[in-house]
Amino acid sequence: MNIFENFKLLKADMEEKGWAIEAFSFKYKKVDYVVLVKLYQSNEVKESRYALLRVEFLKTHDFNDSLVVPANVRELLADAQTLREYFGIEWSENLGEILRQFSEHFAQFIPGKVDLSKSNTLKRAMIKSLSESDSEDPCKIYCYAIRRNPDNGKRSIFNDNKSRLLRPKLYGKMLGDHTVSFCYSSSSDREKTDAEVIKNFTKK
């Protein structure tokens, strides 16, 4: 039984649209979570050969309280104790049934395609994860420039997705040029308008 069939649909839609990450909200036992769904990149080693995607649960009130598990269309590839402890599931004789009910409940929240209308909380979680994946400070959210990559190298998918979220209009103007990357600062004083960024870029 493919209880998480939507993961397969979502993965295909993410690949088609060039997204490395997607986010959605999830609620269980009165606790709100942000769920990040991440594609495995070509240079990454899967935790399990059966993994389709990597799923990260973040408690909405504290993004540092998180759980990362590989997943496929059938299950979350984590042991029962790990899931119990993170989601506050009490031990019982029929634990297998309770975990099955948890999976069925979670499956109802999984989208089958990318949703571009994100809340600020979902965007914040995505940007934090994208920055960390790109070895960047998560506080660097203020775009001040675009730069040509050395040897016309292609910008990382993490920089690409982060810019789609933070500066969609500027991203749209540079959409056809994959050899430029977007530069970010942690200081709001350094942030430039789209016109300023493009003007400074064309001067070089």
* Helix/strand/coil for 198: helix
| Domain ranges across the chain | 5-107, 134-203
pLDDT digits (tens, 9 = 90+) for 84-118: 999 998 887 777 888 999 999 999 999 999 998 99
Closest C-alpha among 20, 11, 6 to residue 162: 20
Mean pLDDT throughout 45-52? 91
Cα separation, 8 vs 129, whole angstroms: 22
What pLDDT shows up at residue 112? 96
For residue 185, what pLDDT is reported? Answer: 97
Q: What is the DSSP letter of 76?
A: B
Q: Predicted confidence band at 192 (pLDDT cuts at 50, 70, 90)?
A: very high
Using N-to-C axis directions, what is the helix angle for 157-166 and 120-133, rounded to 10°?
A: 150
Instruction: Give percent of the chain with pLDDT exceeding 70.
Output: 99
pLDDT at 1 over 90: no
pLDDT of residue 203: 83
Beta carbons within 8 Å of 107's beta carbon, 6+ residues apart: 3, 4, 6
User: Judging by beta carbons within 10 Å of its beta carbon (0-12, 13-18, 19+), is residue 76 exposed, middle or buried?
Assistant: buried
Sign of CA dihedral 63, 64, 67, 73: positive
What pLDDT is recorded for position 77?
95
pLDDT score recorded for residue 94: 79
Does the pTM exceed 0.85? yes
pLDDT on residue 141: 96
